[in-house]
Structure 1
Amino acid sequence: MTRISRIIPAFIVLACAPALAVADEAVPTITLTDGVIAPQMIDLAADAAVTLTVSNTGKTAAEFESKRLRIEKIIAPGQTETIDLPALPAGNYPFVEEFHEDLDTAKGTIVVK
């Protein structure tokens, strides 16, 4: 085996390492259950785009809404949706389950640090 043929496989493994590390990161998930949001606070890193998973485990439709992020998404019972968030500056981004927004349990915050 030539020296180059030994170096190329090692280079390919090293080049793929960052992508493998990203795949291992947990996807932030919010569960909506008939007016109850869990968790009510999610921490995200500043200046990094992320995909948020929102599941409705309740018996009625739910609406994930964040006026600050300009997002509204209706989610049918038993369904899961993804929301692509852009890289955000540090700050607090409130959200609600709009169909039950009068309940304290239906309010949450995405905290970007």
Structure 2
Amino acid sequence: MQIRPRLLSTATALLLAAGAAHAQALPTFRLEMNNGIFNPTEIVVPANTRFKLELHNTGTQAEEFESLELKKEKVLAPGASSFQVFAPLKPGRYRFFGEFHPDTAQGHIVAR
């Protein structure tokens, strides 16, 4: 069976567009880390929905985003940025903290 190049090209373009639209639809939230302080300290996300958390270390010291409950961690050098994608969360409150500044770098993700 021979697939016509134009049909294959169209199908490929549609699949790529659908993937891009899906990626853009992901709710995105921002967390800044600055020398042992998280901002904001509470991030409200929609329950039962995948979401992306952008992490930005705006400080002069390394910091680690960590959540034991959510089984997530990410170390960022000063000035670095990254992200974490979270599976849908049940309604509730989930603690996160900074491994390098556990007394001051604390917060919660609240799924509603």
Structure 1 stretches of 4+ with a deviation exceeding 6 A read: none
CA-atom RMSD, angstroms? 1.8
1:31-50 equivalences in 2 (<5 Å): 31-50=32-51
**Any unmatched runs of 5+ in structure 2?**
1-17
**Any unmatched runs of 5+ in structure 1?**
1-15
> Identity of counterpart residues, as a percentage?
34
Deviation at 1:23, TM superposition (A): 3.7
Deviation at 1:60, TM superposition (A): 1.1
Per-residue Cα deviation, 1:58-110 (whole angstroms, up to 9, x for no partner): 1011000001001111011101111010011101010001100122xx11000
Question: 2:52: which partner in 1?
Answer: 51
One-letter amino acid of the counterpart of residue 31, structure 1: E
One-letter amino acid of the counterpart of residue 111, structure 1: V
Q: Which has the higher helix share?
A: 1
Question: 2:28: which partner in 1?
Answer: 27
1:75-94 equivalences in 2 (<5 Å): 75-94=76-95
Scaled by the length of structure 2, the TM-score of the pair is 0.76
Q: Is contact 2:26-2:51 (8 Å) kept?
A: no
